[in-house]
Amino acid sequence: MRRNSQRLWSGEAGINWRAAMLLGLLSSTFSTLVSQVTAARIGRDAVVDWMVVAAIPLRDGALQMDPSGPVILAGILFHQAADFSWAVVFFGLFGRWTGRLDPWMILLIAPVWALFTSATEWLVLVPLLPFRQPIFSLEQPYWIGFLVHVTSASLYPLFPCLRDAVARRHPSPHRRFAVAWSGGALLGAGMLGVLALFGWQGREVAWMGRDPAFDQDYMRRMMAHHRQGIDLARLGAVRAQNDHLRALARLIAAAQGGEFAVFDQWWRSWFGAVSQICAPAEEASMPGMLEPGQIDQLRAMTGAAFDAQFVALMTFHHTGAIQMADTAMDRASDLRLRIMAQAIRHEQRGEIALMHGVAGLDAVRAALGDLVLPAGDAAPEREARDRLEP
């Protein structure tokens, strides 16, 4: 029996499996590194994104206001395990058809595979079976997962050379392509790393818009809006009676804190000075901003009454941020602000759905709608506007 298994492992299929596992290690690590250094360039906080990924297997225990090292590591490892698995499926399980493809054909197929795998995770595997965890799809817009999967699949054309190496076929006819392709990938990752290093030092790529007045006004107002959202979320993380609601409050505080940090880093890099603070009258005019008396009333509540009022206030507050983000998607002149605004709109809609207990197929439908519906068209937004207009 052992001799038969060794023969099978060293045969044609076995070579595909071994090369696929080696490729999976390379591609998953590459996508992790690129995701880490690229996140803040498009308005994402990588630490919060890894925490959301960690919540898929670890559930509410992974949600923290300040994500810890073990939680971040758990998110990275879970992501890499998923990327590794997809490479093994493509070249191991389907190796009979994919094992002999040349690098250029793989290059053509890889984006389609990335589209399929990212959609399968976002629509089925995570929110439905086997994990039944709606946070991932409702918190992160689909295009983030697609970009990560494309990054991983961009190394798939290296498979023929890896396969020749595993089979000890020297010299490999694919070696020249593999050297050039891997060199280009390393160069691209290195350039992204340099941009990230400059960004961390307050020197992001310069503002590239046409209308500084609107972009500055949007950033300044959204930062003020997020300040109140963080304060409200921190209150809910401590005072909510329901364990799941406390976990969601921690998630909201972490997500808005990460976005606030990105806004602040962009402002300092683009405009030099510290962003101006909104006057009380301007804050009061923002959609979704709560009056101080409403938050004071919430502090005086306890138990189930607190939970219900917290959900109502946070839903109303998020609805205002959704309106602001929707406007920025149309009017912001720097592309990075429009990209970030779309992610904020999706995330805050998703958090509203999560606070109202949306799960399963309803979560999938909500996530799909969150991607495309303009502000005010989602049912929870309409309900919040009608129920809690101050």
What confidence tens digit (pLDDT) does each residue in 276-299 have?
778 888 888 899 999 989 999 999
Evaluate whether residue 248 is within a structural domain. Answer: yes
| pTM value > 0.95 | no
Indicate whether 250 and 313 sit together in one domain: yes
In the block, which residue shows the tokens 């949007």?
218
Q: Do the domain assignments include residue 58? A: yes
Mean pLDDT across 114-139: 98
196 and 154 assigned to the same domain: yes
The pLDDT score that the predictor gives to residue 4 is 47
| 194/219 same-domain check | no
Does 190 reside within a domain? yes
Same domain, 159 and 297: no
Average pLDDT over residues 180-195: 97
Q: Determine what percent of the chain is predicted with pLDDT higher than 90.
A: 87
Dihedral in degrees, nearest 10, Cα atoms 189, 191, 192, 198? 150
User: 134 in a domain, yes or no?
Assistant: yes
32 domain-assigned: yes
pLDDT given for residue 12 in this prediction: 87
Rounded alpha-carbon distances, angstroms, from residue 234 to 31, 90, 241, 317: 32, 44, 14, 14
Peptide bond into 171 cis (omega under 30): yes
Number of structural domains found in the chain: 2
In this structure, are 376 and 346 located in the same domain? yes
Instruction: Judge if 33 and 170 occupy the same domain.
Output: yes
Distance CA 335, CA 206 (A): 12
Domain that holds residue 289: 212-387
Q: Last residue of a domain, which of 200, 228, 253? A: 200
Q: Across residues 323-350, what is the average pLDDT?
A: 97
pLDDT of residue 300: 96
Instruction: Please give the pLDDT value at position 7.
Output: 47
Pair (221, 196) in one structural domain: no
Q: Are residues 191 and 230 in the same domain?
A: no
Q: Which of residues 200, 221, 243 is at a domain's end?
A: 200
Residue 37, SS3 per DSSP? helix
Rounded Cα distance between 324 and 172, Å, is: 56
Section 331-337 average pLDDT? 97
251/302 same-domain check: yes
Does 96 map to a domain?
A: yes
Mean pLDDT, rounded, of the chain: 93
pLDDT at residue 197 greater than cutoff 60: yes
Residue 207 within any structural domain of the chain: no
| Least confident segment among 46-60, 219-233, 263-277, 343-357 | 263-277
- Band of pLDDT at residue 8, cut at 50, 70 and 90: very low
- Residues 10, 309: contact at Cβ < 8 Å? no
Residue 263's CATH number: 1.20.1260.10
Whether 282 and 194 map to the same domain: the answer is: no
Which of 175, 200, 225 corresponds to the end of one domain?
200
**Confidence band of 108 (pLDDT split at 50, 70, 90):** very high
What pLDDT does 374 receive? Answer: 87
Is residue 327 packed enough to be buried (19+ CB in 10 Å), middle (13-18) or exposed (0-12)? middle
Instruction: Work out the widest C-alpha separation in the chain, in whole angstroms.
Output: 80
DSSP string, 200-254: HTT-PSPP--S-HHHHHHHHHHHHHHHHHHHHHHHHHHHH-SSHHHHHHHHHHHH
231 in the same domain as 194: no
Decide if 383 is inside a domain.
yes
pLDDT of residue 9: 55
Same domain? For 179 and 218 the reply is no
